[in-house]
Amino acid sequence: TEISQQDQRCGFIAVVGAPNAGKSTLVNALVGTKVSIVSPKVQTTRFRVLGIVMAGTAQIILVDTPGIFAPKKRLERAMVAAAWSGATDADHICLLIDAHRGYDDDARAIVEKLKEAGRKAILVLNKVDLVKRDKLLGLTADLDAEGIFTDVFMISALNGSGVADLMAHLEKLVAPGPWMFPEDQVSDLPQRLLAAEITREKVFLALYQELPYSVHVETESWEEKEDGSARIDQVIYVERDSQKPIVLGKGGKQIKAIGAAARTELEELLERRVHLFIHVKVRDDWSEKRGHYSEIGLDF
């Protein structure tokens, strides 16, 4: 059934919070498919990613943002700037708090910034699967006292509890306006970039203790084969020679595992066979090189 443009509703809802609060997990849960990569490592999300959900007459455009924290390096400053502009440009803001960590300094700093900007937000307490009810009630009271929250939701983005209620609320919030994306689009990331992100996620999951977050992945080429499969060539860039053997592993064991995990997920997402070729190269000090940011979509 067609929904005429007069009946359409559309809105941007930013998901902000401290690193590892579970923002990307929540956006994926709301969209119903992976649009943004997730890992226990902070700074997994480097740039703003849009996750798009259709709900009745509403198109809800979720803005997944890098975590907000006190930046030290240039890449970090760019990430935090991207997070804030994603938030302040949006129609509504969800502040995600890791209920297990509680109302810590990172969360307080974000609340202060929201107050300064004169913005209200929806409070979303995440990871309730890890927390006792008493603690949740205390946390809610502390946060509510800040006077900037319009609603409170308690969810587990990981196991899905409370996510449907939050979704129903967001659906009601969205104001009249024409849809901005085709109905079947779930993200604004080009396929090549999403494919690179998936490999980066697998690197992070396999090696998050051994490697710095500055590992970078690029899709170098993408070839559609006549048999319906795709050949994808990617490069994992590390910062130093010494990091190359870590990514490769003994006898190439590590890179094989990373490649296999990435390929499995790509095949699911693309619904076809994938031949994935991954190369590992050293890129000197790329995280301090300004020219690189535009390539990965950072804006500052």
Q: Where are the beta strands (DSSP E) in 174-240?
A: 216-224, 230-238
Site for Mg ion in 28-57 (CB under 5 A): 45
State the number of binding residues for ligand GDP (CB under 6 A). Answer: 21
* Residue 129 interaction partner, one of Mg ion, ligand GDP, K ion, none, beta carbon < 5-8 Å per kind: ligand GDP
Question: What whole-number distance in Å separates Cα of residue 154 and Cα of residue 159?
Answer: 12
Question: What whole-number distance in Å separates Cα of residue 117 and Cα of residue 44?
Answer: 26
Interface with ligand GDP, residue 259, by CB under 6 A = no
* Distance of closest approach, residue 32 Cβ to ligand GDP, in angstroms: 15
Binds ligand GDP (CB under 6 A): choice among 38, 52, 80, 125? 38
* 3 state DSSP class of 112: helix
* Distance of closest approach, residue 73 Cβ to ligand GDP, in angstroms: 17
CB-CB contact of 36 with 188 (8 Å): no
* Residue 22 interaction partner, one of ligand GDP, Mg ion, K ion, none, beta carbon < 5-8 Å per kind: ligand GDP
Q: What is the CA radius of gyration of the chain?
A: 20
| Site map 39..78 versus ligand GDP, x via CB under 6 A | xx---xx---------------------x-----------
Nearest residue (CB) to ligand GDP, 129 versus 284: 129
The binding site for K ion (CB under 5 A) comprises 20, 44
Question: What whole-number distance in Å separates Cα of residue 155 and Cα of residue 166?
Answer: 8
Interface with Mg ion, residue 24, by CB under 5 A = yes
Q: What are phi and psi of 283, to 5 degrees?
A: -120, 120
Which residue's CB atom is positioned nearest to ligand GDP? 22
Q: What are phi and psi of 272, to 5 degrees?
A: -165, 170
Give me 101's structure tokens.
């960590």
Interface with Mg ion, residue 156, by CB under 5 A = no
**Sequence-distant (≥ 6) Cβ neighbours of residue 133 within 8 angstroms:** none
Interface with ligand GDP, residue 157, by CB under 6 A = yes
Question: What whole-number distance in Å separates Cα of residue 96 and Cα of residue 220?
Answer: 35
Binds ligand GDP (CB under 6 A): choice among 12, 14, 22, 52? 22
Identify which of 21, 233, 265 has the alpha carbon closest to the alpha carbon of residue 123: 21
* Distance of closest approach, residue 282 Cβ to Mg ion, in angstroms: 26
Give me 79's structure tokens.
């990430």
* Distance of closest approach, residue 192 Cβ to ligand GDP, in angstroms: 22
Nearest residue (CB) to Mg ion, 23 versus 48: 23
Interface with ligand GDP, residue 187, by CB under 6 A = no
Question: What whole-number distance in Å separates Cα of residue 107 and Cα of residue 19?
Answer: 10
Give binding residues as ranges.
Answer: 17-24, 64-68, 126-129
Identify which of 212, 229, 209, 233 has the alpha carbon closest to the alpha carbon of residue 221: 233
Give me 216's structure tokens.
């970078």
* Distance of closest approach, residue 64 Cβ to Mg ion, in angstroms: 6
Q: What are phi and psi of 214, to 5 degrees?
A: -75, 0
Interface with ligand GDP, residue 127, by CB under 6 A = yes
Nearest residue (CB) to ligand GDP, 135 versus 231: 135
Cβ-in-10-Å burial (0-12, 13-18, 19+) of 168 comes to exposed
* Distance of closest approach, residue 39 Cβ to Mg ion, in angstroms: 8
For binding to ligand GDP (CB under 6 A), which residues are involved?
17, 19-25, 38-40, 44-45, 67, 126-127, 129-130, 156-158
